[in-house]
Amino acid sequence: MTDLSVSSSSLAKTLLPPFSFSLRPNVPKRLRFCRKSASFLRKPSSISRQNKLAVVTAIQVSTQSENDGFVLEDVPHLTNFLPDLPSYPNPLRKSQAYSIVKKNFVSPEDVVAQNVAIQKGSPRGVHFRRAGPREKIYFEPEEVRACIVTCGGLCPGINTVIREIVCGLNIMYGVHDILGIEGGYKGFYSKNTLMLTPKLVNDIHKRGGTFLRTSRGGHDTHKIVDNIEDRGINQVYIIGGDGTQKGASLIYEEVIRRGLQVAVAGIPKTIDNDIAVIDKSFGFETAVEEAQRAIDAAHVEVESVENGVGIVKLMGRYSGFIAMYATQASRDVDCCLIPESPFYLEGRGGLFEFIEERLKENGHLVIVVAEGAGQEYVTAEGHDAGKTDASGNKLLLDVGPWLSDKIKNHFTMFRKMAVNMKYIDPTYMIRAIPSNASDNIYCTLLAHGAVHGAMAGFTGFTVGPVNGRHAYIPIARVTERQKTVRLSDRMWARLLLSTNQPGFVASDKEKVDKEVTN
């Protein structure tokens, strides 16, 4: 399925899992209990050693780039590993809804550029396959047994994605067998599944949270893939953040290792908007909008009193996007503190000096602080650090109360000036709500993109918008690093212009210089 003639050299890394194709010698007993004829499984013995080598070679050959610098970072296709897989015409060609669309199907040549702003004469750069329905599909709809799982923290819109995967599979492709895995990755091996129908999920998008529930930790690749085999699942839709996508990648690799016809599709989810490559993650806009309510409340409170200092703590472990966008949208914020931009409290150009100036000028101020900001100070003061959650993520120390206390103490003790502190922590409120209209539409596109990709036989991919166009991105590309606010980007400059807060220059300059040279 390498229908584009050029490809990236980094593609080899993406397509070739770091293992040899050691397939299991026999179809395990438990597969006999699978609901259908197990056509989803090409018996391991049917892939000869020669074929395995052919697959490896074919993928390696496709990793050349051309003179114009065009690079395709492709996603794996089931036929890379199962060359004899039959294809079927896409049932959408008969759908009334689709037949009026001028160009029903995405052509194999359609790609999405990672960088749209390039210089004349410069290499064309990295591209990804465009998402959407293909003319041929590699699953017979009545043979599909799909499953959906949601992992990690909550985010507005998860239920819309679940709903639209179920409805997309059912209405567009006539798939009826869709299972919900409950409670995250561990639900694969510790819980019964839930049969999902369009009727059951019809109005779940109106609710926050995840209909399937979620968890952290509990990723056991072997147990999960055993379960996928046991249940005869052949399409796996995995909704989650960077940790979840790393887990999805391991599942994909294990599936290939076992020679199964199972498509693994990742749908990126994170309130922090920290997933690389994609434009933004779903639910982010809703969260920024909801954060406005907390900022407005803080502003109203501090405006009404003498020396009012409002602090609003927002989510953002390592990426300050929510804080940055919420600040920009509000215009009532005087200072925004994010993990990417270290700040300091005392001395010239420090936060205390700035607060004092603003209080003298306006009588009040509002600070937005991302949860990951200032961690080095809170830790340095001997607070309990180093704990992790069940997924291994570092548990952050609470910067909000720490900052409130610091400010209060400084002004009462050293400046003999009473400040009226109003601290608001809407952390969970901004992610537990249902998605807004625009996120709902975005979630629908993501879900449908994932469904089209899996039906078309792509696997080991994450779907998401790149410069406004939905694309299939190799999972490894979205997990190799976390997206963070670049202090050298104009968005941060706009924020500094609007708040007129200190740049905390000494500490920031080093970071910006590093970003620019990278």
Ligand X SMILES: Nc1ncnc2c1ncn2[C@@H]1O[C@H](COP(=O)(O)OP(=O)(O)OP(=O)(O)O)[C@@H](O)[C@H]1O
Ligand Y SMILES: O=P(O)(O)OC[C@H]1O[C@](O)(CO)[C@@H](O)[C@@H]1O
| Residue 185 touches which member of Mg ion, ligand X, ligand Y, none, C-beta under 5-8 Å by kind | ligand X
To ligand Y, the closest distance from the beta carbon of 430 in angstroms equals 9
Restricted to residues 372-431, the positions that interact with ligand Y (CB under 6 A) are: 389, 431
Q: Which of 73, 164, 229, 242 binds Mg ion (CB under 5 A)?
A: 242
Asked if 319 touches ligand Y (CB under 6 A), the answer is no
Query: Is 339 a binder of Mg ion (CB under 5 A)?
Result: no
Q: Is 247 in the site for ligand X (CB under 6 A)?
A: yes
Given a contact cutoff of 8 angstroms between Cβ atoms, the answer to whether 234 and 255 are in contact is: no
Does the footprint of ligand Y cover residue 271 (CB under 6 A)?
yes
Interacting partner of 391 out of ligand X, ligand Y, Mg ion, none (Cβ under 5 to 8 A depending on kind): ligand X
Residue 183 interacts with ligand Y (CB under 6 A)? Answer: no
CB 287 within 8 A of CB 294: no
156 binds ligand Y (CB under 6 A): no
Residue 76 in the binding site for ligand Y (CB under 6 A): no
Number of CB atoms found within 10 A of residue 429's CB: 15
Check: CB of residue 351 under 8 Å from CB of residue 203.
no
Residue 386 CB neighbour total at 10 angstroms: 7
The tokens describing 303, both together, are: 């405006």
For residue 189, say whether it is annotated as part of any ligand binding site.
no
Cβ closest to ligand X, residue 241 vs residue 308: 241
Distance of CA 264 to the CA centre of its chain: 15
User: Measured from the CB atom, is 372 or 465 closer to ligand Y?
Assistant: 372
Residue 260 is classified by DSSP as B
Contact with ligand X (CB under 6 A): which of 243, 266, 465, 474? Answer: 243
Residues 358-397 that bind ligand X (CB under 6 A): 391, 393
User: How many of the chain's residues bind ligand X (CB under 6 A)?
Assistant: 21
Which does residue 315 touch among ligand X, ligand Y, Mg ion, none (CB within 5 to 8 A, set by kind)?
A: ligand Y
- Residue 349 assigned as binding residue: no
Least spacing, CB of residue 371 vs ligand Y, in Å: 6
| φ/ψ of residue 53, rounded to 5 | -65, -40
Cβ neighbour number for residue 461 with a 10 Å cutoff:
31
Q: Per rule CB under 6 A, is residue 272 in the interface with ligand Y?
A: yes
To ligand X, the closest distance from the beta carbon of 186 in angstroms equals: 7
- Alpha carbon dihedral 317, 321, 325, 330, in 10-degree steps, equals 20
400 binds, among Mg ion, ligand X, ligand Y, none (CB under 5 to 8 A by kind): none
**430 to 459: interface string for ligand Y, x by CB under 6 A:** -x----------------------------
- C-beta of 185 vs 354, nearer to ligand X: 185
Candidate ranges 146-154, 284-292, 421-429, 501-509; the one touching ligand X (CB under 6 A): 146-154
CB-wise, 266 or 400, nearer to ligand X? 266
Q: Name which of 90 and 245 has its Cβ closer to Mg ion.
A: 245
Instruction: Give the residue ranges of DSSP H helices in 6-48.
Output: 11-15
Cβ–Cβ under 8 Å, residues 258 and 31:
no
Instruction: Determine whether 272 is an active site residue.
Output: yes
- 56 with 16: CB under 8 angstroms? yes
At closest approach, how far in Å is the CB of 282 from ligand X? 11
Contacts of 475 (CB under 8 A, 6+ apart): 245, 248, 249, 252, 266, 460, 461, 462
Q: How far apart are CA 182 and CA 149, in angstroms?
A: 7
Residue whose tokens read 């209990």: 33
Q: Does 315 show up as a binding residue in the annotation?
A: yes
Nearest CA-CA partner of 366 in 402, 404, 398: 404
Task: Please give the structure tokens belonging to residue 494.
Answer: 């706009």
- Phi/psi of residue 111, nearest 5 degrees: -135, 165
Cβ atoms of 74 and 460 closer than 8 Å: no
Written as one string, the DSSP assignment of 108-171 is: TT-EEES--S--TTS--EEEEEEPS--SEESS-GGG--EEEEE-SS--TTHHHHHHHHHHIIII
Query: Which residue number, 73 or 242, has a Cβ lying nearer to Mg ion?
Result: 242
Give me the amino acid identity at 67: N
According to the 3-state scheme, what is the secondary structure of 38-69?
A: CCCECCHHHCCHHHHHHHHHHHHHCCCCCCCC
Per the residue annotation, which of 74, 272, 274, 332 is the catalytic one?
272
Nearer to ligand X, 159 or 244 (CB): 244
H or E, element range at 266: strand 263-268
- Residue 219 interacts with ligand X (CB under 6 A)? yes
Q: Which of 156, 241, 268, 320 lies at the binding interface for Mg ion (CB under 5 A)? A: 241
174 is in an annotated binding site: no
Specify the stretch interacting with Mg ion by CB under 5 A; choose among 40-48, 113-121, 237-245, 328-336: 237-245
Q: Which is nearer to ligand Y, 102 or 387 (CB)?
A: 387
Q: Could you list the residues known to form a binding site, using ranges.
A: 153, 216-217, 241-244, 270-272, 315-317, 371, 428-431
So which residues are the catalytic ones? 272
Q: Could you list the residues known to form a binding site for substrate, using ranges.
A: 270-272, 315-317, 371, 428-431
Q: Could you list the residues known to form a binding site for ATP, using ranges.
A: 153, 216-217, 241-244
| Residues binding ligand Y (CB under 6 A) | 152-153, 241, 270-272, 315-317, 371, 389, 431
